[in-house]
Structure 1
Amino acid sequence: MKRNRKQDVIYVHLNEKNRYVLSSGIQFSEFIQALYDSINHILLLKHRFDDADFNLHTLLDYIPRKRVMKLAGDDVSQYGDFCWIDFEEMEGLDEIPGQVLAELLYLGHMKEPLHAPFYNYLGNRFTYLAIEDGWFNKTYYRNLNDFYYLLSELIPMKLELIKPEKSLLGLKRRKVYPSVDQHLLLSLKGYMSEGMVLSLKEVVQNRARIEIPMWVIGDFSNMDDMHEEYEKNSKRSCDAKLIFDKKTQEWKIRSN
């Protein structure tokens, strides 16, 4: 049941101070599709991928950039724990001191960093900590603009899966919805800081527009509890709507 929920409900809790996002409904494959150009290699802290390379200095597996898309095509939600950190150059990985390696091992084991999880040796932009990927994700961003970019690409990506446009003959037509303006998403920062659900499950569509409702439901680290709270809140009027105008091909937000 959990995996069916992933596509149609996006939960986001933003911790701006510590630069991380707790989420449910954002999968690794979607993350990579949106942010592929920002990632070079991947150091695997917890995984079950069978085509990784082995680094003798850290005794950890890693994925060179040329195989990142292969990893994204695997069903990583079945791994259980799936944790990684990106890195720029092999030379940096081979120079990691024992203290940093100890912090990385702790990070993968506890899903919590001892310090801000960004390392000069690695030049990483992300630290990605997931339990049943797409169900519970905790992702650290060196620059939170990367998160807003991810969300701007993710929403139209998911909308296409949920509400594919049809041609006059009734056949599904590949309709790529435009990205959501990141400045528009920045206006939702207050909602996301409290814990917000964006529900593709409750999308309303007519000839003129598509409306995606949003609810502020609070801070959750247990996603079963989050979904229960979402189900309760979905019976009341939403707090805001993300609206796509089909004529102008533009997105806007309307608060209720």
Structure 2
Amino acid sequence: MKKNHPYSRDLLYVHLNERDQYVLSHGIEFHEFARSLADSLNHLLLLKHRYEDGEFNRHTLFEYVPEDSVEKLVGANVHTGDFCWIDFEEVEALNVLSPQEIAELLYLGHIKHHLKLPFYNQLNNRFVYLSNEDGWFNKTYYRNFNDFFRMLGIVLSGKLGEMKPEKSLLGIRRKKAYPSVSKEILKSLIPALKEGAVFSLKNIQQNRNRIEVPIWIIGDFANMDDMHDEYKEASRNLPDGRLIFDKKLKEWSLLAQ
């Protein structure tokens, strides 16, 4: 995919497709996704990847990462090229996948789109994670969108902590911890996310009392270069809304324009 813009970790784009149960995103990396949903990940079947420490399944001819090795994968560099996987509960389930299902999984990894909604009874998967240059372009299917909103709330607060490290008494910069943005607040943004919206941590404003994260509604993009161009134009105008963090109450709220 084209990449005419420098990758910036302080710009987070989300486009929610409710009907087909997926989210297109820019700015959310695998390690952020996996750590925020660590209690929901089982074994991972690797559909397209460059990871060299997976185990091989003879029936599907796919490699997979057992649950107890996922943390090692999280620490690996998966940013180059395609990185695509689907989670599954039982290793034995791989051996009963039909030729049609294996073909659908190959198509998912190759085309990054489904032939039919990619939730399989045998695998009991909750996610399908399809990325190119992980963090630059991600398409993630969710069996339950509550997982998405939980992840997004944790990732937003984590990025804010990385952006605004505190200095200790010894002058050492350390990451500040913020509470995650609640699912209820993020769910109230569903109309904006269905259109395609950017959370810009590079444009945050703050004073002694609060931090404001601006949100612009910019539209539906699968090409993230085009998304960046549109964001550049939109950011010249006032944002469509703001996530507000009250420093005294230590609470998040949403301010719509």
Query: Letter of the aligned partner of 1:7 in structure 2?
Result: R
**Cα shift at 1:64:** 0.4
Query: Letter of the aligned partner of 1:34 in structure 2?
Result: S
Number of the residue aligned with 1:225: 226
2:47 to 22, 39, 45: 45
Alpha-carbon distance between aligned partners in 1 of 2:152 and 2:49, rounded to the nearest angstrom: 25
Contact 2:162–2:175 at 8 Å: present in 1 too? no
Alpha-carbon distance between aligned partners in 2 of 1:47 and 1:152, rounded to the nearest angstrom: 27
**Cα shift at 1:163:** 1.2
Alpha-carbon distance between aligned partners in 2 of 1:6 and 1:140, rounded to the nearest angstrom: 23
Alpha-carbon distance between aligned partners in 1 of 2:166 and 2:210, rounded to the nearest angstrom: 12
Contact 1:6–1:24 at 8 Å: present in 2 too? no
Does residue 74 of the first structure (1) align with residue 69 of the second (2)? no
Number of the residue aligned with 1:180: 181
Tell me, what secondary structure is at the counterpart of 1:5? coil
Number of the residue aligned with 2:153: 152
Which runs of 5 or more structure 2 residues have no equivalent in the other structure? none
Does residue 5 of the first structure (1) align with residue 7 of the second (2)? yes
Deviations 1:180-235 (A, max 9, x none): 11101100001000000000010112211111000000000100000010011111
What is the root-mean-square deviation in Å for CA atoms of aligned residues? 1.4
Number of the residue aligned with 1:131: 132
Paired residues, number = 255
- Aligned 1:196-215 pairs, distance under 5 A: 196-215=197-216
**Cα shift at 1:175:** 2.2
Query: Letter of the aligned partner of 1:12 in structure 2?
Result: V
Alpha-carbon distance between aligned partners in 2 of 1:135 and 1:171, rounded to the nearest angstrom: 31
Alpha-carbon distance between aligned partners in 2 of 1:91 and 1:105, rounded to the nearest angstrom: 19
Tell me, what secondary structure is at the counterpart of 1:224? helix
- Aligned 1:50-129 pairs, distance under 5 A: 50-78=52-80, 80-129=81-130
Number of the residue aligned with 1:28: 30
Tell me, what secondary structure is at the counterpart of 1:119? coil
Tell me, what secondary structure is at the counterpart of 1:11? strand
Deviations 1:94-131 (A, max 9, x none): 11111111111111111111000000110100011111
Query: Letter of the aligned partner of 1:10 in structure 2?
Result: L
- Aligned 1:243-254 pairs, distance under 5 A: 243-254=244-255
Percent identity over the alignment?
A: 56
**Cα shift at 1:169:** 5.3
Which runs of 5 or more structure 1 residues have no equivalent in the other structure? none
Deviations 1:33-64 (A, max 9, x none): 10111011000000000111100111110000
Query: Letter of the aligned partner of 1:176 in structure 2?
Result: A
**Cα shift at 1:5:** 3.1
Tell me, what secondary structure is at the counterpart of 1:118? coil
Number of the residue aligned with 2:144: 143
